[in-house]
Amino acid sequence: MSKAPFLTFDINLETFQDNLTAQLNVNREKIQALLAQSDKTYASFIKPFEMMDERLDQFFTPLSHVNSVKNSELSQKVYSDVLPIITEYSTEVSQNLEIYQAFKTINENEYASLNSEQQRIIDLNILHFELSGAHLDEVKKERLKEINLRKSTLTNDFSQNLLDATNAFEYIIMDEADVKGLPQSDIDAAAFEAEGKTAYKFTLQMPSYIAYMTYGPSQEIREALYKAYTTRAPENAVIIDELLSLREEMAGLLGFNNFSEYSLASKMAPNTSAVISFLKELAASSANQATEELAALKAMTPNELMSFDTAYYSEILKKAKYDIDEEEYRPYFEQNSVVEGMFEFLHHLFGISFRPVQEKLWDEKASAYDLYVGDELRSRLYLDLEARQDKRGGAWMHNWQSHCSDEEGKEQLASAFIVCNFPPSSESNPSLLRHDDVVTLFHEMGHALHHMLSTVNENGVSGVNGVEWDAVEFPSQFLENFAYEPQVLRLFAKHHESAEILSDVMIERLVRAKNFQSAMGMLRQLEFALFDFKLHMTHEPDVQQILDNVRLDTSLLTPPSYNKFQNGFAHIFAGGYAAGYYSYKWAEVLSADAFFAIIDQGVFDTQIGKDYLNIVLGRGGSSSMSSLFQELMGRKPETHSLLRLSGIQ
């Protein structure tokens, strides 16, 4: 196969909107022409339809990328101007029932003769259409539309109520003794002048609330904040009831027994009982150690340990037993040597190598690399790692081109961006990372490799495209685990001045700090996941009762009865996690399990490492992750791997 060259990164903000509009009109005409064909086949309809999508992504991605990493008034304006245009187009395509019909026809006529990647494209497209009701009669469609409209009003109200309640509360501290022990930066953030005196204001907004709950010396104030926090937005209770009943009705219209079943239709987890028993198994295995962790915490407290004390005493305990001083570690993690070391590690793990490419990019600190497997060029990686003023915070991977073979059979290679916000380097000062930053870089690299090492020929299921939602974090968490592995760290964790290698003792402290109270943390996450999942399986649920029941298995410390945490659970009532909160743990088990398979074979140059490359990374979204995992390991995922990773006995 001949190869198409990589795109060059080049964007003209002045002409972007006009070019996009023109492109969308070309697409609209092309869709009409594709639909007008009398004999629609995979090659004559689906392939060009899918490639049209790929090219639109390729055109649009540089704009969202630049708006995030090289933000300007112009980029913001262009982005907000074109967002409704592209949204309108996507809605139009996703609601075009003729396209759905075309997929159905090709499914009937040709499915058996297609390869598994092409079959997967058909399966996912039909599923996508049917999960939004394309196959229903007009009456049901109309009702579905009403439900969706009402749902979006309710989720919006839920967030707004929560936001209003969060903003409405403040606690003013007049006595300096009540802020003693807080980090100076938190004290500075809270301080203000009131009647010629310094006073301190704490709120329910995250940094402020967490700071006082973690370091605030006054139990009375901690309780006041905790009570305000856990009783926010009581009016959300009725919203929750209505939302749950609408979700259940919607699932019913689409042919599912309940909303949890509907949620799983597009996920890796096979059925609702598998999710429940998975979560319960983890809870049962964590209970003993969590009880011990809680006992250690109780031993720190003069009186009975209350829910509003746990963060405070945990911090004291952590300082005493596991504290690591980030500044002590930084000199060992100089940015360039971390990146080079990560490449070297990946060479040992997968036999891949990175070669720098000279290319003009959006910022002089950004860089490009070509990725080779052996001598074969496979994809291109862009790194933009340092914080700057015109860059959005956080870290992420963004895929650009996807590996595929185009309409003419030309091979298109994949490309992806990794963006972080590490300390900026200068002529005189190197960029020294925290260990957390190293973990972040490995995490994003895991996502990028999932995209870049694809060998799939259909772009819609190549790399991270088409991967089930509860499996997306598998490759990222998998790679992140290696950032705690002594053999890996020794490759690059060298003091930037003395070249001394990070000692085993210091590495061990990183692992111990990571696993501090891991069983208690595990139970807390399982409580959220079980509550979410059971809630969406129950007809006319009594929300509080379901929560109380879940807590019998997950909660060692009964929260005060005024605690109505559910009214603030935005992940599932205002975000995309409804009947999906379990996904965090689900993907962690896959990643821990595959990680130990490699560790147990000696980390470098293992057969299982190569298998992982070919099966999990190579095949991307072209098969369900459950079958890829089965093929890799010869068995189903085992939850005890996650317990082992978390240091739970």
Nearer to Zn ion, 254 or 472 (CB): 472
Full DSSP string of 597-636: HHHTTTSSS-HHHHHHIIIIIHHTTSS-HHHHHHHHHSS-
- Give the per-residue contact string, 552-571, with Zn ion (x = CB under 5 A; - = no): --------------------
Q: Considering only CA atoms, give the Rg of the chain.
A: 26
* Alpha-carbon torsion (500, 501, 506, 510), positive or negative: positive
Nearer to Zn ion, 42 or 382 (CB): 382
Options 131-139, 372-380, 471-479, 566-574: segment touching Zn ion (CB under 5 A): 471-479
The answer to whether 579 touches 263, Cβ cutoff 8 Å, is yes
- For residue 591, the minimal CB distance to Zn ion (Å) is 11
d(CA 611, CA 632) in angstroms, rounded, equals 6
Whose Cβ is closer to Zn ion: residue 446's or residue 568's? Answer: 446
Q: Which residue has the tokens 């020294």?
A: 432
CB of 473 to Zn ion, least distance (A): 5
Task: Please say whether the beta carbons of 408 and 416 come within 8 A.
Answer: no
SS3 content of the chain, % helix, strand, coil (to 5): 60, 10, 30
Region near Zn ion per CB under 5 A, out of 161-169, 331-339, 472-480, 612-620 = 472-480
Say whether 444 is catalytic.
yes
- Produce one character per residue of 303-333: b if its CB has 16 or more CB atoms within 10 Å, e if not: eebbbbbbbbbbeebeeeebeeeeeebbbbb
Smallest separation, CB 480 to Zn ion (Å):
9
CB of 287 to Zn ion, least distance (A): 29
Residue with smaller CB distance to Zn ion, 178 or 470: 470
The answer to whether 583 contacts Zn ion (rule: CB under 5 A) is no
Task: Supply the DSSP symbol for 423.
Answer: P
Instruction: Sketch the per residue contact string, 511 through 550, with Zn ion: x for CB under 5 A, - otherwise.
Output: ----------------------------------------
Smallest gap from residue 487 Cβ to Zn ion (A): 24
- Residues sharing a CB contact under 8 Å with residue 625, sequence separation 6 or more, in sequence order: 268, 467, 468, 471, 474, 590, 616
CB of 449 to Zn ion, least distance (A): 12
Nearer to Zn ion, 68 or 476 (CB): 476
Cα 60 to Cα 570: distance, rounded to the nearest angstrom: 30
Q: Number of C-alpha atoms within 13 angstroms, CB side, residue 583? A: 22
In terms of Cβ atoms closer than 10 Å to its own Cβ (0-12, 13-18, 19+), residue 356 is exposed
Region binding Zn ion by CB under 5 A among candidate stretches 454-462, 475-483, 583-591, 641-649:
475-483
Of 467 and 546, CB closest to Zn ion = 467
- DSSP-derived letter for residue 36 is H
**Residue 54 carries which side chain, given as an amino acid letter?**
E
Region of 638 on the Ramachandran plot (φ > 0 left; ψ -120 to 50 alpha; else beta) = beta
What SS3 class is residue 230? helix
444, 458, 480, 588: the active-site residue: 444
Which of these ranges, 236-244, 468-476, 534-542, 567-575, lies near Zn ion under the rule CB under 5 A? 468-476
Distances (CA, A) of 166 to 50, 160, 171: 44, 10, 12
Measured from the CB atom, the residue of 129 and 581 that comes closer to Zn ion is 581
Q: From 55-63, 94-102, 476-484, 517-525, give the range in contact with Zn ion by CB under 5 A.
A: 476-484
CA distances (Å), 585 to each of 264, 448, 533, in order? Answer: 15, 21, 13
103 or 442, CB closer to Zn ion? 442
Site residues (CB under 5 A) for Zn ion, limited to 325-364: none
Per-residue binding letters, 283-312, with Zn ion (x by CB under 5 A): ------------------------------
Smallest separation (angstroms) from Zn ion to the CB of 413: 23
β 396-399/414-422 pair status: antiparallel
**In angstroms, what is the minimal distance from the CB of 532 to Zn ion?**
20
Q: Which of residues 618-637 bind Zn ion (CB under 5 A)?
A: none
Q: Please tell me whether residue 225 adopts helix, strand or coil conformation.
A: helix
Q: How far is the CB of 575 from Zn ion (least distance, A)?
A: 16
Q: If we measure between CA atoms, which residue out of 525, 514, 541 comes closest to residue 237?
A: 541
The gap between the terminal CA atoms of the chain, to the nearest Å, is 52
Nearer to Zn ion by Cβ, of 447 and 536: the residue is 447
Which residue number is nearest to Zn ion in terms of Cβ?
Answer: 476
Contact 422/433 with Cβ under 8 angstroms? yes
Which residues lie across from 592 on neighbouring strands?
none
The helix (run of H) or strand (run of E) holding residue 173 is strand 170-173
**379 binds Zn ion, rule: CB under 5 A:** no
Q: Which is nearer to Zn ion, 239 or 464 (CB)?
A: 464
Q: How far is the CB of 619 from Zn ion (least distance, A)?
A: 19
Residue span binding Zn ion (CB under 5 A) among the ranges 42-50, 374-382, 469-477, 478-486? 469-477
Site size for Zn ion, by CB under 5 A?
1
Q: In this structure, how many other beta carbons lie within 10 angstroms of the beta carbon of residue 257?
A: 13
- In the complex, the smallest distance separating the C-beta of residue 469 from Zn ion, rounded to whole angstroms, is 12
Please name which of 91, 87, 237 lies closest in space to residue 157, comparing C-alpha atoms: 237
Q: Which of 436, 478, 520 is nearest to 613 (CA)?
A: 478
Nearer Cβ to Zn ion (106/449) = 449
Q: Which residue lies nearer to Zn ion by CB, 476 or 646? A: 476
Binding of Zn ion at residue 476 (CB under 5 A)? yes
In the complex, what is the shortest distance from the CB of residue 218 to Zn ion, in angstroms, rounded to a whole number?
38
Q: Which residues bind Zn ion (CB under 5 A)?
A: 476
The residues annotated as belonging to the active site are 444
